[in-house]
A and B are shown apart, each in its own frame.
Chain A
Amino acid sequence: MGKYIEMIRIRFLMMLAYRTNYYSGILIYSINIGAYYFLWSAIYGGKENIQGLSITQMTTYIAVAWMARAFYFNNIDREIAMEIKEGKVAVEMVRPYPYLNMKMMQGLGEGIFRLLFFSVPGMIIVALVFPIELSTNASTWLFFFLSITFSFIINTQINLLAGIATFFLFNNDGLIRAKRVVIDLFSGLILPLSFYPMWAQNVMSYLPFQGISYIPSMIFTEGFKGSQIYEALLNQAIWSLLLIIPVYGLWILAKRQLVVQGG
């Protein structure tokens, strides 16, 4: 356990060394949220609510979806791909730890850093500028934090899969980019899933992506109520467990045919 905490700490320190890179990030996210706010204001026109969400809930949804993204999003897919391509994975293999778990911890260190230095200040700025409603209900916050923890797990497992695919494809930049678009689109980051046509909602209910953004954002905006919350959390928990299977399966295959580049 000590080694995992230490790894999170180290990654946090590394991010801290480059923190100035993030100030511009907050600005970009805020502009993004602003643009969506104006877009949705126009769409709502005078309407009270669409698909059960009021305009304030919608704005809150967009804001929290982007700020949560800062937490669950990480680059470990690219990192794994790079470590494989440059042969650095050799060094990882002579360390007495499970490579994938350690990668996940690095992602967590990155996530915690961004949560504190990006999402929190970002959310404060956005809340000052736009009409956003933050729940005063403690249980909502509790469910939300539980939910974004699952978001992190699901998203990171998908990243691991994309990263490990490098062992087989060798150049999988395309795959990683496509994965990113799919996640932004199908996770409900850009548009709440309840706005998609029925057939698409059906398809997406069988995919893990809604657990990444739609579920925590709906919990935060209190768009989910009562048993809906528990069902949503259960869905996330199941996917978090289910994805372990392909990740480890692929990893075992990958190790068997691992080639290390360079001398």
Chain B
Amino acid sequence: MQNIIDVQGLKKEFKSFSSRSGLKGAFRDLFTRNYTIKTAVDDISFTIKKGEMVGYIGENGAGKSTSIKMLTGILTPTDGKIVVNGMNPHKEREKFVKTIGVVFGQRSQLWWDIAVQESFRLLKKIYNVPDQQYEEHMKDVIETLDIGPLLDKPVRKLSLGQRMRCELAAALIHNPPLLFLDEPTIGLDVLVKLKIREFLKRINEKYGTTILLTTHDLSDIEALCERVVMLDEGKIIYDGPLKELRENWAEGKQIQFQFSEEATLEELQHLTQEHLVVWEKGESDLVWVASVEAEETVISGVIGKVTAAKKIADLKILEISTEEIIRNIYVEGAVRHG
């Protein structure tokens, strides 16, 4: 399989100038200015293969958007090598951008004052899409994203969710083999999110579109991406399957008991003293959660002991959510490798 994206030792530094105080300072600023260097992306390397859907995650300010701007040819890297779709994005900008689609969730690429379909028409001309291909492809896109009724409205009159669906359609007018999405689901309701996810899956299956997306909503990643690249302070701290990340981090399981009679901590601890269990009280006096190792003997042992001694109304085994795992990683700032 060929590499669609190949990044080696990529680095981006920003110079930010600071002003000295006072008149004398302002005068000195005219000649020499103080600046600090901020390394937003610090020597990262990775490759992405055709047809992959990769989640690019990290805390605020980790350097995700900066990386995407370099990958799409908007910013020049300070150092490093980028080959995307076999080209250097910055050097061959005009030819290169015809082969990608980009959505910035925080920024509209449609023309504000004109109807959505006028924007589409202009983009069709800009990307030189033949009529027949446009008809075929866009009919499908418009149907799947359910934006037919919005087409004759000016963009400024659309809601965020409506606009975002149109943005996505606009980024796909030329049916690019590679799609960059920077926070495409920011601020959207659950239904619109689901629709967008379904749509992305569909184009990935139908056209083999490669997708790199950043998001702070991990359920997006869980729904779409098998692989995640995690960034922290400009460095890649994890690159691999989402499943493995979960397995290495979510070592424990939680068992939630809802008793029909009152239970105390001492009582429960006494019942399960053979095993390593951490008991915590849940939402009410009757609900208790036992955190245990993810091992069958332990789980069944604990459940057996507790149910033998006390009446229960409900029982749940919970997995630790990805959300929690990622939070733990962000807090610790490093990834343990299994």
A binding-site residues for B, Cβ under 8 Å: 2-3, 5-7, 10, 13-14, 17-18, 87-88, 90-91, 93-98, 255-256, 258-260, 262-263
Q: How far is the CB of B65 from chain A (nearest CB, A)?
A: 5
The interface-forming segment of B104-112, B190-198, B273-281 is B104-112
Q: Are B75 and A259 in contact (CB under 8 A)?
A: yes
Q: Which of B14, B65, B98, B114 contacts A96 (CB 8 A)?
A: B98
Q: Could you say which residues of chain B place their CB within 8 Å of the CB of A91?
A: 104, 107-109
Residue B332 interfacial (CB < 8 Å):
no
Q: Could you say which residues of chain A place their CB within 8 Å of the CB of B95?
A: 96
A6 to B127, CA, bound (A): 12
Q: Are A7 and B75 in contact (CB under 8 A)?
A: no
Q: Are B113 and A90 in contact (CB under 8 A)?
A: no
With CB as the reference atom, state the residue of chain B lying closest to A88. B107
Residue B126 interfacial (CB < 8 Å):
yes
A88 to B127, CA, bound (A): 19
Q: How far is the CB of B261 from chain A (nearest CB, A)?
A: 53
Q: Are B122 and A98 in contact (CB under 8 A)?
A: no
A93 to B74, CA, bound (A): 6
Residue B97 interfacial (CB < 8 Å):
yes
Residue B76 interfacial (CB < 8 Å):
yes
Please classify how large the interface on chain B is, using the bins under 10, 10 to 19, 20 to 34, 35 or more. 20 to 34
A187 to B323, CA, bound (A): 64
Q: Are A90 and B114 in contact (CB under 8 A)?
A: no
Q: Are A90 and B97 in contact (CB under 8 A)?
A: no
Query: How many residue pairs between the two chains, A and B, have CB atoms under 8 Å in the bound complex?
Result: 72
Q: Are B93 and A93 in contact (CB under 8 A)?
A: yes
Q: Are B14 and A3 in contact (CB under 8 A)?
A: no
Q: Could you say which residues of chain A place their CB within 8 Å of the CB of B104?
A: 90-91
Q: Are B74 and A94 in contact (CB under 8 A)?
A: yes
4 closest A-B pairs by beta carbon, nearest first, are: A6-B125, A93-B74, A91-B109, A3-B125
With known contacts A14-B113, A17-B113, A263-B65, A94–B72 Cβ distance under 8 A: yes
B binding-site residues for A, Cβ under 8 Å: 14, 65, 69, 72-76, 93-95, 97-98, 100, 102, 104, 106-109, 111, 113-114, 118, 121-122, 125-128, 182
A150 to B154, CA, bound (A): 34
Q: Are B111 and A14 in contact (CB under 8 A)?
A: yes
Q: Which of A14, A90, A97 contacts B74 (CB 8 A)?
A: A90
Q: Could you say which residues of chain B place their CB within 8 Å of the CB of A255?
A: 76
28 A-B residue pairings within 8 Å (CB atoms):
A3-B122, A3-B125, A3-B128, A6-B121, A6-B122, A10-B114, A10-B118, A10-B122, A14-B114, A17-B114, A87-B107, A90-B104, A91-B107, A91-B109, A93-B73, A93-B74, A93-B93, A93-B97, A94-B72, A94-B74, A95-B97, A95-B126, A96-B95, A97-B126, A255-B76, A258-B76, A259-B75, A262-B106
A91 to B109, CA, bound (A): 6
With CB as the reference atom, state the residue of chain A lying closest to B106. A263
Q: Could you say which residues of chain B place their CB within 8 Å of the CB of A3?
A: 122, 125-126, 128
Q: Are A258 and B74 in contact (CB under 8 A)?
A: yes
Q: Are B111 and A10 in contact (CB under 8 A)?
A: yes
Q: Which of A6, A94, A262, A263 contacts B100 (CB 8 A)?
A: A94
A83 to B108, CA, bound (A): 12
Q: Could you say which residues of chain A place their CB within 8 Å of the CB of B74?
A: 90, 93-94, 258, 260
Q: Could you say which residues of chain B place their CB within 8 Å of the CB of A263?
A: 65, 106, 182
With CB as the reference atom, state the residue of chain B lying closest to A263. B65
Q: How far is the CB of B169 from chain A (nearest CB, A)?
A: 16
With CB as the reference atom, state the residue of chain B lying closest to A257. B76
Q: How far is the CB of A8 from chain B (nearest CB, A)?
A: 11
Q: Are B121 and A256 in contact (CB under 8 A)?
A: no
Q: How far is the CB of B272 from chain A (nearest CB, A)?
A: 48
Q: How far is the CB of B83 from chain A (nearest CB, A)?
A: 17
Q: Which of B65, B94, B118 contacts A98 (CB 8 A)?
A: B94
Q: Are A13 and B76 in contact (CB under 8 A)?
A: no
A2 to B100, CA, bound (A): 21
Q: Could you say which residues of chain B place their CB within 8 Å of the CB of A98?
A: 94
